[in-house]
Amino acid sequence: MYKKYLAMGLALAMGLSVTACSGSSGTETSSSGKAEVQTGTSAENGQESPYAESFKIGIAEVQANDESIQRRAYFENYIASRYNCEFVFSEQCTSTDKLLTFIENCADAGCDAVISYSNDDIEQMTQVCQEYGMIYVVNTVRINPKTEAAFAGGYENFGAFGSNQVAIGQVFGQWLKDNASEDGSEGFLICSGMAYTGNLQQTEITTACLTALQEMYDLTYDQDLNSMVVSSAPIEATNDKGINIYLYPGHTTRVEGYLQGLTAALQTGKYGVMLQSIQLYDQTGVIVQETEQAMNKDIKVAGVATVSESLKTAFSTKDQFGNPTVNMATAKPVSLLCASGFAQTYNLLTGHRDATLAENGDAGELNTTLWPITDLETLETISKWDTPEGGKWIVDYEILDNMLSVNNEDLTNKELQEIVDSVTYESALQRLGE
């Protein structure tokens, strides 16, 4: 009851416009006008949890997609029963107001913590959760100045987990070094996505690609590398070796005529490698094949992806040169990211904040990376893991138990990161098989 009145008072004091987190189909509301929460189960098949303390945790989602379905299945059907937890799921929190409303709903529902996949106004959300008496753990990385205040603010209720963007960029850089020609004569088209808006992953991928090309061919760019990365307009990365390198920013949902412009660039015949920092392979497959046929030129494609039927199709479909529509794609081990967020949350809930702190005493983070996929066989194997049907979770109970301080009082954030880093495709294959 105290949480309920405190939440209402804060909302009024802040002058919030209270709206529900909702999807395209809308959200049913209670008589109070608040969004109904969707509650997950805390027990599975009558199993008794070996963990005595019980917790209720809100999960704030931004999108309704395959990944969010996987997450819900992992939390609800796998995590809940073993760790004596109940989960409350949002619909789509697509704005700060909607996220705040969900946090208030969680407080009303008696939640102890919120795990958020929205990184809107992190410090504000942390403060609101603190007033509600809830832990706030968010899917983000430390980026100045956007998240600096939350990480350095000394908040006892704050934790973070995210993707190792530098490592993801290195995946693309290494692929280039392994697959590009010795002289760079094929030319390179880099889709820099929303790097110009500050998107970290797309910035790191674009930077890594330009840096790899610089190292491979010992070239010097005519312009500053970082300024090219954040350019909002297409730009030639001219250099002293005369290698064709073209940066094409934007996204199909943000730039009118995006695909038309990308098609025109490909049809110049100057580029034999396309590097995509955003998921585009499913929209560029036809464009690439048509250009290959018209130019009799093999075009290799590497990009960010999700494990899906469309990705299987891309690897299965061969061009006139016998190569797949996409040559390298990245896969996100969903349960690894979920487990990282849950471990941070559970350690905070059980009074083991030290395990969540960096060596300098600021809030720490657990970072995962994406796995490169270069063939259909690997994709077929990965697609059998982390499915809503369960059975083969990349992070199982044994791994997650080792990430909880209740089982190891001396656990540090550095040691937690080492556990996360040890979960690779190779280790998963050895444990789960095909």
Strand partners, 38: 89
**Per residue, what are the HEC states of 297-321?**
CCCEEEECCCCCHHHHHHHHCECCC
pLDDT at residue 55, as a whole number: 98
Tokens of 287: 């464009």
| Under 8 Å between Cβ of 245 and 213 | yes
Which ranges in the chain are annotated with CATH 3.40.50.2300? 2-163+334-369+387-432
29-62 burial, b if ≥16 CB within 10 A, otherwise e? eeeeebbebeebebeeeeeebebeeebbbbbbbb
177-189 burial, b if ≥16 CB within 10 A, otherwise e? eeebeeebebbbb
Q: What is the identity of the amino acid at 54? A: S
Tokens of 252: 């199909």
pLDDT at residue 31, as a whole number: 33
- Whole-angstrom distance, CA of residue 57 vs CA of residue 87: 5
pLDDT at residue 40, as a whole number: 46
- Whole-angstrom distance, CA of residue 22 vs CA of residue 93: 7
Least confident window among 128-137, 138-147, 207-216: 138-147
pLDDT at residue 254, as a whole number: 80
Considering the chain, what percentage of its residues have pLDDT values greater than 90? Answer: 74
Higher-scoring residue by pLDDT: 192, 253: 192
Running DSSP on this structure, what letter comes out for residue 356? G
Q: Averaged over 291-298, what is the pLDDT?
A: 93
Q: Comparing C-alpha atoms, which of 304, 204, 191 is closest to residue 250?
A: 191
Instruction: Please write the tens of the pLDDT for every residue from 199-212.
Output: 888 999 999 999 99
- Whether the pLDDT of residue 10 is over 80: the answer is no
Instruction: Report which listed range, 28-37, 213-222, 298-307, is most confident.
Output: 213-222
Q: Comparing C-alpha atoms, which of 282, 232, 230 is closest to residue 259?
A: 282
- Helix (H) or strand (E) holding 373, with range, is strand 371-373
- Whole-angstrom distance, CA of residue 219 vs CA of residue 169: 20
Backbone angles phi, psi at 112, to 5 degrees: -95, -20
Strand pairing category for 273-276 and 188-193: parallel
Instruction: Please write the tens of the pLDDT for every residue from 59-70.
Output: 999 888 888 999
Least confident window among 41-50, 125-134, 325-334, 368-377: 41-50
Q: How far does Cα 263 stand from its chain's mean position?
A: 28
CA 222, 227, 230, 236: dihedral to nearest 10 degrees?
Answer: -10
On the question of a cis peptide bond just before residue 145, with omega within 30 degrees of 0, the verdict is yes
- Output the pTM of the full model: 0.81
Mean residue pLDDT of the chain comes to: 88
CATH label, 180-331, candidates 3.30.300, 3.40.50, 3.30.70, 3.40.462: 3.40.50
- The band of 119, judged by pLDDT with boundaries at 50, 70 and 90, is confident
Q: How far does Cα 293 stand from its chain's mean position?
A: 35
Least confident window among 23-37, 48-62, 138-152: 23-37
| Under 8 Å between Cβ of 230 and 241 | no
Q: Averaged over 112-129, what is the pLDDT?
A: 95
- Whole-angstrom distance, CA of residue 51 vs CA of residue 54: 8
Instruction: Please write the tens of the pLDDT for every residue from 237-292.
Output: 999 999 999 999 998 888 899 999 999 999 999 999 999 999 898 899 999 999 99
Higher-scoring residue by pLDDT: 308, 384: 384
Residue 249: which residues within 8 A CB-CB, separation 6 or more?
Answer: 191, 192, 193, 194, 195, 196, 231, 232, 233, 234, 255
Strand pairing category for 300-303 and 273-276: parallel
Least confident window among 39-53, 158-172, 203-217, 227-241: 39-53
pLDDT at residue 252, as a whole number: 87
Instruction: Decide if domain 2-163+334-369+387-432 falls under CATH 3.40.50.1820.
Output: no
Least confident window among 64-68, 77-81, 177-181, 301-305: 64-68
- Whole-angstrom distance, CA of residue 36 vs CA of residue 52: 28
